[in-house]
Amino acid sequence: MPNLTHEDILSLLRGVVDPERNQDVVTLGMISGIQVRDGHVAFTIEVDPARAGQYEPLRKRCEEAVFGAPGVLSATAVLTAQGGARPEASKAPPNAPKAPNTSKAPAAQAAPGGGSQKTGIPGVRAIMAVASGKGGVGKSTTAVNLAMALKKMGLGVGLLDADVYGPSLPRMMGLSGRPDSADGKIIEPKVAYGVPCMSIGFMVEDDTPMIWRGPMVMGAVEQLLRDVRWGELDVLIIDMPPGTGDAQLTIAQRVPLAGALIVSTPQDVALSDVRKGLNMFRKVEVPVFGIVENMSYFLCPRCGERTEIFGHGGARQTAAELGADFLGEIPLHLAIRETSDAGTPIVVVQPDSAHAKAYLALAERVAEKLEESLDALAAAAPKIIVE
């Protein structure tokens, strides 16, 4: 099968029978979104949200059926639920019991712009996104160091790498290997520096090219959100995929976000992307906590001189124009690159450095914004009046 076609994939999948309904997955109309590129195959399996917990074996069999064929180098199947419902692999039902600590549970249960589809994660007080209008601006570096700084402030923090196109959390947190799961359903996060972490990068080989369509990204993110034992957290930080396409919009729409932080570099091109990012979150009524300017200026490691390579200050100006808060600036510095690429975030290993302090200052602003957002949610929640 040298040149795989969609029809080839469908005929392979016709051999997989859904045991509940005794028909093959293709005849049942469960397969969609087939992507084939250079022998790498990806597709979605539409499932009935009412049959929670039953589809994982079927998903695996679909992958195996395709992977076994000549010419197929990799096969990735993602479960999604039709009609905008959550994918099947998500275990928490919409009326999932709240976490024992009720003061922590409700925040993520009803987020701004929320609809009935936005179900919080029991035990997680708030979920926030770190986003960027384009790749390479330091979004992941910011997410990781922000998490470390919030942790340092005493908050319970988790990190979810939703950047399925280029997951960098494992490298930046010095983590590798597949996560454990005792029952094959709930995944244990990997923990670094006291912060539970989950990334699609733990699940796939480094050299596997990612072919993801919007709905598949959401399916994967839902699984990483809900099938992981996050425990009790004040905030779960999602490192978003870069950009403002369908996949990002769906996450912004469907995950109960308390707010979003947008990372930008000072250049004009990045700033026009900031506008798109800001508008995306506003469209779905997710509060934008503000904008942070990364690689804001160059601090010479030898003489300490500050050079504004990209014409510093653009993000502050754009934030003002767009009515968003400017939350701080992070210098461009070799130590930030080296520590983040070595899996030892600068906030942890050089806590007294000027760079770590820049992240701590950012974290303080973010913590304030989180509290404001949670207060606004609590105020907006319906009150029960007993006469």
Q: Which residues bind ligand ADP (CB under 6 A)?
A: 132, 135-141, 168, 242, 294-295, 330, 332-333, 336-337, 340-341
Shortest Å, Cβ 260 to ligand ADP: 14
Q: Is 96 helix (H, G, I), strand (E, B) or coil?
A: coil
Q: Which is nearer to ligand ADP, 119 or 294 (CB)?
A: 294
Question: CB of 325 within 8 A of CB of 291?
Answer: yes
Whose Cβ is closer to ligand ADP: residue 234's or residue 329's? 329
For residues 289-317, one letter each, b for 16 or more C-beta atoms within 10 angstroms of the residue's C-beta and e for the rest, the string is bbbbbbbbbbbeeeeeeeeeebebebbbe
| For ligand ADP, the closer CB: 80 or 140 | 140
CB of 237 to ligand ADP, least distance (A): 13
* H helix runs in the chain, sequence order: 6-13, 56-67, 139-152, 169-172, 214-226, 246-254, 268-283, 314-322, 334-341, 346-349, 354-380
- The smaller minimum CB distance to ligand ADP, of residues 46 and 273, is found at 273
For the bound state, the minimum distance from the C-beta of residue 101 to ligand ADP, rounded and expressed in Å, comes to: 32
Nearer to ligand ADP, 133 or 259 (CB): 133
| Min CB(144)–ligand ADP separation in Å | 8
**Minimum distance, C-beta of residue 141 to ligand ADP, in the bound complex (Å):** 3
Angle between helices 56-67 and 6-13 (to 10 degrees): 130
CA torsion 56-58-61-63 (nearest 10°) is: -70
What's the min distance (Å) between Cβ of 112 and ligand ADP?
25
Cβ distance to ligand ADP smaller for residue 31 or 143: 143
Which amino acid, one-letter code, is at 9? I
Question: Which tokens hold the place of 240?
Answer: 């978003």
Please identify, using beta-carbon distances, which residue of 86 and 333 lies nearer to ligand ADP: 333
At its nearest, how many Å lie between ligand ADP and the CB of residue 53?
Answer: 34
**Beta pairing class for 40-47 and 31-37:** antiparallel
CA distance from start to end of the chain: 73
Listing DSSP states for 190-232 in one string gives EEETTEEEEEGGGTS-TTPPP---HHHHHHHHHHHHHSB---S
Indicate the residue whose CB is closest to ligand ADP: 138
